Structure 1
Amino acid sequence: MGQLTVRALRAVLVGLLAGSVFVEAVMVPLLALDLDGLDPDYAYLRTPLLLIIVLGVVAAQVVLVCVWRLVTMVRRGTVFSPAAFRYVDVVTGAFVAAALLVFALAVVLAPGEAVAPGLVLLICGAALAVMGVALVVLVLRALLAQAVARDVEATRMQAELAEVI
């Protein structure tokens, strides 16, 4: 991966992380204030909505930090090592958690007349899409495992060749 690509990706990651901190520090408290004025019939939505949003942002932050660490490993040429699996596993777990949070949002919004049933269905579709991303990351983990195995084999064969020469 080229130096320009690494810098561009890190700039994007920093922007996203700064934006997520802004959401947690400014937008969630403002949303909490707005939700104080909810109709009493829908007051039960306030706490679950805020909790789901905060946990969703935390899941995104976890992914961003893990991607940063993986990019660092790529730049150093150490990504094809067992240490990379920890970060990929955490990313997978964060996406699964995010999918469950999106589904929990649908469950919270489903009863009553708070939102239209079609919107709840769309949110369930979004949960399915996020779970699909988790599965894609899982497939990429399998590819990383194959690459690590090939790298270990190549290193072993190179050592044997060095002994012969």
Structure 2
Amino acid sequence: MTSLDERERALIARRLAEPGLRRSDPGAAPRRAGRTEFPLSFAQRRMWLHHQIVPGSTAFNLCIELTVDGDLDVAALRAAFDALVARHEVLRTTYHTGDDGDPFQRVHDSLGYPWEVLDAPGADADARRARVRELARERASRPYDLAADSAGLAVNAAWIGSPR
């Protein structure tokens, strides 16, 4: 929020204070009792089919770079991603093929995801940023297994400021 002016920050603070927008513990979304396997949506089926035709494809990979100025609490960031995964079934879902050949999704109570904190050494900030972009390209080119990985979710945090 450092790029926002004071008026924009005040507006966001007022909106977050409105009833129903802020909860101290959002918790996990309600679970569907008794079932863990469901048919794929059209978009999920398309991704599953693509992975059947082109195993190891990275066509659906998405790599996002976010820059945080100032100190970063890595434990809080990890807790935030853990809460995100607990809340959203799609981040705990794997894809499988039934005995009849039809694909289905399996929603897990919990499913780990790769978490890596990287150091981006370099003589100056530009060299460190270049190293982060190189790491991002390498991570984005890694295929994932729909039957084992949760929608390919992986988190990599890289330091580009002074060493921590």
TM-score above 0.5: no
* More helix by percentage: 1
* More strand by percentage: 2
Q: Which has the larger radius of gyration?
A: 1
Name the TM-score, length of structure 1 as normaliser.
Answer: 0.28
Higher relative contact order (CA 8 A, sep 6+): 2
